[in-house]
Chain A
Amino acid sequence: METLLKQEQVDPYYVKLSAFEGPFDLLFHLINKEEVDIRDISLSKITDQYLDYLHSLPQLNTDRAGDFLVMAASLLYLKSQILLPQAPSFLQGREEEALFFGSKEELVRHLLEYNFYKSVAAKLKNREEEQNKIFLRSPGPPKILMVNTQLNFYGYDLGVLQQALLNIRERKHKKEAKKEAERGKIRLPDGISFLKKVRYIASRLKECTTCFLEDFLLKFEKREIILTFAALLELAKRGKLSLHQKDNSHRIQVSKKM
């Protein structure tokens, strides 16, 4: 028990739980430590040891320890039955669903059963080890390949390689950030501005009193179209021109406001 506790105190809790595959596993371990037949276990002693073990855990992860706690409760229940004088209990016959077992006999039966499967599992493990040493011809194209497990780093150590990788990532990151920033701006071809577009529209409207929207837009490339359209809207908003469409199928008329 002492060596067990010492070992447990070093390891973090989750490592410990995986060391015991469930509450019966732990109980088994404790009983084996006592080196007695399962049938002769001292419930009182084993219960105390079980609780000691749970107390020795630095912190209790209730999610994973639930089964262990139910086991502790079951053991305590049995211990109390043995220690206390037996009163004609009104509890008798009631189903103890949450508990692993209701009597010492049941516990022993369960432990013996568990012991059986544990030893079968041990046999299977032996066979698995033997069997994993035998290789068979694999179906399909031959899977066997020669692998060079020794990678050649040409004298560079891990730190240098890591730094190089970080540099590459940072450069890539910067590039992408720059691209991202540029995407937000509309860059205009040289010599084009909003004001110039307003003037252009005004001069077109002077020439012909009624034009169609297409006349302003079609001949430009995308960014200029957007700018021209914005200028049209701005002028319409200020009441300098009017936009008119007879119905959905008709072209939009642009005319100068007097």
Chain B
Amino acid sequence: MRGNDAGQKVTTTAIIEAALFLSQEPLPLDKLGQICGVPLAVIKDSLQKIKADLARNERGLVLLETSKGFQLGTKPETAACVEKLFTADQINTPLSQAALETLAIIAAKQPVTRLEIENIRGVKADGVIDNLLKRGLIRITGRKEGLGRPLLYGVTEKFLHYFGIKDSKELEELMNLDT
């Protein structure tokens, strides 16, 4: 707790909420600590409070934890209504089955060549790969040594973001079919 000019109390929780509201990008823990000038343990505590508060039915936001930090988003339950604010081209078109399977292969085997992907799926993959590159979900990570030095592909940070995957550990868990 600390006072402001009007003598009213402003809590760390309030400052964090304000910062998260303003920021267009995820805010990392240490950045929040800088802003508030309090230890990270306090920040974590406040984030928990915000999360719990937002969980109430009356609230329309959620606290998201991404690879780059914390961020506010709208509640999934409100999507059907709030998406009317957008035009059709502003809403993500879902990925095709081919794109999803290709991403699954790249995420599991990266770095991986186009040929390896094609062998698993039994169909050409160039179109799908082009598309995924354009959407920024995969990137060229280098070239494989050997005949023809084919390009190698891997998933990007945007990929993690797109599927709401927090970090590489969570990605690994996703690849584990028992969970």
Q: Is the CB of A124 within 8 A of B87?
A: no
Are the CB atoms of A121 and B101 closer together than 8 Å? Answer: yes
Of B85, B121, B162, B164, the most chain A CB neighbours within 10 A belong to B121
Q: Which residues of B have CB within 8 Å of A143?
A: 86, 90
Asked if A169 CB lies within 8 Å of chain B CBs, one says no
Decide yes or no whether B165 CB sits under 8 A from chain A: yes
Closest residue of B by beta carbon distance from A143: B90
Question: Of B71, B90, B92, which is in contact with the most chain A CB atoms at under 10 Å from its CB?
Answer: B90
What mask results when residues 62 to 88 of chain B are scored 1 for a CB within 8 Å of chain A, else 0? Answer: 101000000111111101001101110
Complex interface: chain A residues within 8 A of B87 (CB):
145, 147
Number of interface residues of A (CB under 8 A): 39
Instruction: For the complex formed, measure the closest distance between the CB of A195 and the CB atoms of chain B, giving whole angstroms.
Output: 67
The majority secondary structure among interface residues of chain A is: helix
A119 touches B177 (CB 8 A): yes
| A131 CB–B CB distance under 8 Å | yes
Of A22, A129, A133, the contact of B121 (CB 8 Å cutoff):
A22
Q: Would you call B18 an interface residue if the criterion is a C-beta within 8 Å of the partner chain's C-beta atoms?
A: no
Q: Does B91 contact A (CB under 8 A)?
A: yes
Contacts A121-B101, A132-B92, A134-B73 given; does A24 touch B122 at CB 8 Å: yes
- List of A residues within 8 angstroms of B25 by Cβ: 139
Stretch at the interface among B4-12, B50-58, B104-112, B145-153: B104-112
A71 to B121, CA, bound (A): 12
For the complex, what is the distance from the CA of A145 to the CA of B83, rounded to whole Å?
11
A120 at the interface (CB under 8 A from B): yes
A123 near B174 with CB under 8 A, answer yes
Mark B102-134 against chain A: 1 for CB-CB distance below 8 A, else 0. 011101100000000000111110000000000
- In the bound complex, residues from chain A placing their C-beta under 8 Å from that of B97 are 21, 121
On whether A71 and B103 interact (CB within 8 A), knowing A21-B97, A144-B86, the answer reads no
Residues of chain A whose beta carbon lies under 8 Å from any beta carbon of chain B: 21-25, 67, 71, 100, 110, 113-114, 116-125, 127-139, 143-147
User: Can you identify 18 A-B contacts, CB atoms within 8 angstroms?
Assistant: A21-B97, A21-B101, A22-B123, A25-B122, A117-B101, A117-B105, A117-B108, A118-B101, A121-B100, A121-B103, A122-B100, A127-B163, A132-B91, A134-B64, A134-B73, A135-B74, A137-B23, A147-B87
